[in-house]
Amino acid sequence: MRIVLTGGGTGGHIYPALAVAKQFSEEVPGTEFLYIGGTKGLESKLVPQENIRFEAIEITGFRRKLSFDNVKTVMRFLKGVRTSKRLLKEFKPDVVIGTGGYVCGPVVYAAAKLGIPSVIHEQNAVPGLTNKFLSKYVNAVAVSFEGTEQAFPGAKAVEYTGNPRATTVFKADKERGYASLGLPSGSDIVLVAGGSRGAKAINEAMIDMAALTEKLPNVHFVYVTGESYYEATVKEIRKKAGRMPSRLHVLPYIHNMPEVLAVTKVIAGRSGASFLAEVTSLGIPSILIPSPNVTNNHQEKNARNLEAAGAASVILETNLSGQTLFQEIQRLMKDEPARQAMAEAARKRGKPDSAHVIVEMLRRLAGGNG
């Protein structure tokens, strides 16, 4: 088979696409892939590392208020459609899947206009503008959250598939996770991460919290700053705490996140849909800090969805501090029954076969080729 993948901007859009590619390679050996992404998104760095052919188009999103920039966006969209049509005609895919981000717009739209079977995958509880637009043109929509199917009333078909990133994480090797961190097997690990690019508010809370980590002497804290924040954050921790606490391990980025998640007891971070798919597939109790800077406040809706199931606690950014974050981590690490109850609730919301479900969906649309 020949598959075109598209999605970009952040890891939350890119990793699900890569999970689909990995699953396809396992189920249909010899499948060929082309990934079409943005010129400035994280995908331009991550996709080539997976030995997948990558092509870039220039695209930006619409501003929500009247602006001349929106005229430029329309022009970029039309140019992106032309470029996408050229790439699609050259590659001749059996099916195209978009996993979110502005770049999906011209690529998936071009596929639909060329009569190529196409699918969009919506990760969040609240659909983005691009996917709402595309849902009227594609053959099918896949959703991550059960019960959100009605958000696409104009779609030809909508299917609850879960998020394919869950499959990648579910299969991760625990021992490689411990080894990559340089920690003994069986260590109690609390992971704090602000997403693929980091989060300023979480970094500030962690700077304040650094010295408090020593109040949990048997716990290793793994803290991911995001590459652009790393040096300044390490400097501030040393300044505020007097030194780097012995069990606080500060990293700019984790390239083998599934393996690290597999050894994590409690996790604190944003509430993007791919992240939630990861933690539920493994049953990790989570402390969710929704980003307030996202369309339709969808991260808080994602987080409340998990909180209502008893699988997570939520700290809004307005209430976030080193003290509030540490108190919640301490509560969970000292209360094993509560932690186990959250873990079980998380597992019930997980869908570790998501990538397989999406592969089957794509193969049906492609006519069973391969």
Digit-by-digit pLDDT tens for the chain (370 residues) are: 999 999 988 888 999 999 999 999 999 999 999 999 998 888 999 999 999 999 999 876 555 555 556 567 788 889 999 999 999 999 999 999 999 888 999 999 999 999 999 999 998 878 888 899 999 999 999 998 888 898 999 899 999 999 999 999 999 999 999 999 999 999 999 999 987 788 999 999 999 999 999 999 999 999 999 999 999 999 999 999 899 999 999 999 998 999 999 999 999 999 988 889 999 999 999 999 999 988 778 899 889 989 999 999 999 999 999 999 999 999 999 999 999 999 999 999 999 999 999 999 999 999 854 4
Q: Is 369 annotated as a binding residue?
A: no
Residue 281 assigned to a binding site: no
Give the separation between CA 76 and CA 59, rounded to whole angstroms.
6
11 assigned to a ligand binding site: yes
167 is in an annotated binding site: no
C-alpha to C-alpha distance for 111 and 91, rounded to whole angstroms:
12
Supply φ then ψ for residue 85, to 5 degrees: -60, -40
**How far is 276 from 262, CA to CA, in rounded Å?**
14
Angle CA 328–331–332, to nearest 5: 90
Q: Are 271 and 302 in contact (CB under 8 A)?
A: yes
CA neighbor of 329 nearest in space, from 341, 316, 344, 312: 312
Instruction: Report pLDDT for 369.
Output: 46
Cβ–Cβ under 8 Å, residues 211 and 238: no
- The answer on whether 41 is annotated among ligand-binding residues is no
Q: Does 321 count as an annotated binding residue?
A: no
Distance CA 360, CA 245 (A): 48
Q: Looking at residue 245, what is its pLDDT?
A: 95
Sequence-distant (≥ 6) Cβ neighbours of residue 254 within 8 angstroms: 193, 222, 224, 260
Report CA Rg, the chain: 21
pTM: 0.80
**Cβ-based burial of 71 (10 A; exposed 0-12, middle 13-18, buried ≥19):** exposed
What does each C-alpha distance from 84 to 48, 56, 57 come to in angstroms? 19, 9, 8
225 is an annotated ligand-binding site residue: no
Decide if 101 contacts 326 (C-beta within 8 A): no
- Check residue 23 and give its pLDDT: 96
Q: How many residues does the chain have?
A: 370
Locate the DSSP E strands across 194-334. 219-224, 248-251, 266-269, 286-288, 312-314
Q: Delineate the domains of the chain, giving CATH numbers in brackets.
A: 2-163+352-365 (3.40.50.2000), 169-349 (3.40.50.2000)
Which residue carries 């083998």 as its tokens? Answer: 256
